[in-house]
A and B are shown apart, each in its own frame.
Chain A
């Protein structure tokens, strides 16, 4: 049977992708950021991951205001990197896993999560920056990727509680898939940041630190964070952190924290990163 072996969370700051693409990772500003992923790049080589379910948000790229799905599951065979206005990032095409994605769609809908099924979609920095941070700059991505795009652009995004429950449903669906696949779930975005208005630049280290602690030890406690609390405490864009709860919900109740990294600033954002292994 398929198995969720571990989870990973990371911010997906676009400037981080630009730093990689333009060869600036060793500049003094960026060097501490990329040093924080050296462990991960080594760790991932030993995991034999078949499929990553990559929870992220589209930033007005594949979805304009014409269509705003709350949970959109990428079921296609491949997903081209999007042109976000300055040409596509020079990264490989993302290969999907249509069989597992179809199983997920069916399982999740019967489990009462009303997923939007997407059979054609370009993927933006929200998805490709995490891949670059973990896998570097390979000629082809070494695993299949099922994108799960979550609306966090137009308020309200799905609640923390709903996201955690969706993660649990993803965990159940994967456990019921007959092929012996090693699956990771990644939650991306965050941590605290605000990109707009006179309060732009907000960073809340205390909130982020508590969030990282509880995501490991007591994720149920995080499900009571209201949308208002996210906006007030973690900034208008910090609310992306609900996507980390989808990742956590898909893991075993007890997890082992393998790695934790936190750095301010990456452009306007507090950058956070966790690796969690499932405990049976």
Chain B
């Protein structure tokens, strides 16, 4: 059972700790397999079939097929492993980061150009709750 951690209070952030690494082991190792061209081809030919070769939970398979990036993170995915999946899709870190924040590509790129997301108001869950 997952123990509460002090970093659970950081809003919009999922820390990839030992427990999440255990939970996401096969999801992440599936992503790792996409570093090989022949595996990428097999995955693209039939994604659902390819995923059956990895002992993931059904929920993990569904978020992969749906490219639900926050869903993959919630089920133990790590962003550097997920990068193998979105690179296979021809997408960049910035593209996926924008999706995870709920912003449009243009709005996210503009935020970064203007100095990024400030830590002010983004340090704790309490700050996000008061913001509404």
A residues at B contact (CB < 8 Å): 14-15, 59-61, 64-66, 83-86, 153-156, 192, 194-205, 207, 227-228, 231-233, 236-237, 264-265, 267-268, 270
Check A155/B81 contact, CB under 8 A, given A14-B93, A64-B32, A85-B87.
Answer: no
Q: Which of B13, B88, B101 contacts A85 (CB 8 A)?
A: B88
Q: Which of A61, A233, A265 contacts B112 (CB 8 A)?
A: A265
Contact indicator B83/A59 (Cβ below 8 Å): yes
Chain A residue contacts of B102, Cβ below 8 A: 198
Contact indicator B78/A60 (Cβ below 8 Å): yes
B17 CB to closest chain A CB (Å) equals 4
Question: At the interface, yes or no: B126 with Cβ under 8 Å from chain A?
Answer: no
Residue from A196, A197, A198, A232 whose CB has the most chain B CB atoms within 10 Å: A196
Chain A residue contacts of B124, Cβ below 8 A: 232
Check A236/B97 contact, CB under 8 A, given A83-B35, A198-B70.
Answer: no
Contact indicator A236/B108 (Cβ below 8 Å): no
Contact indicator A195/B84 (Cβ below 8 Å): no
Contact indicator A201/B112 (Cβ below 8 Å): yes
Contact indicator A198/B100 (Cβ below 8 Å): yes
Residue from A66, A153, A192, A207 whose CB has the most chain B CB atoms within 10 Å: A153
Question: At the interface, yes or no: B66 with Cβ under 8 Å from chain A?
Answer: no
CA distance A208 to B101 in the complex (A): 23
Chain B residue contacts of A61, Cβ below 8 A: 35
Q: A61-B35, A196-B97 are in contact. List 15 more A-B contacts (CB 8 A).
A: A14-B93, A59-B80, A65-B29, A65-B32, A66-B29, A85-B40, A85-B87, A155-B16, A155-B18, A197-B13, A197-B73, A199-B10, A199-B122, A265-B112, A267-B93
Chain B residue contacts of A64, Cβ below 8 A: 28-29, 32, 81
Contact indicator B28/A60 (Cβ below 8 Å): yes
Contact indicator B35/A202 (Cβ below 8 Å): no
CA distance A60 to B32 in the complex (A): 7
Pick from B44-52, B55-63, B113-121 the stretch touching chain A: B113-121
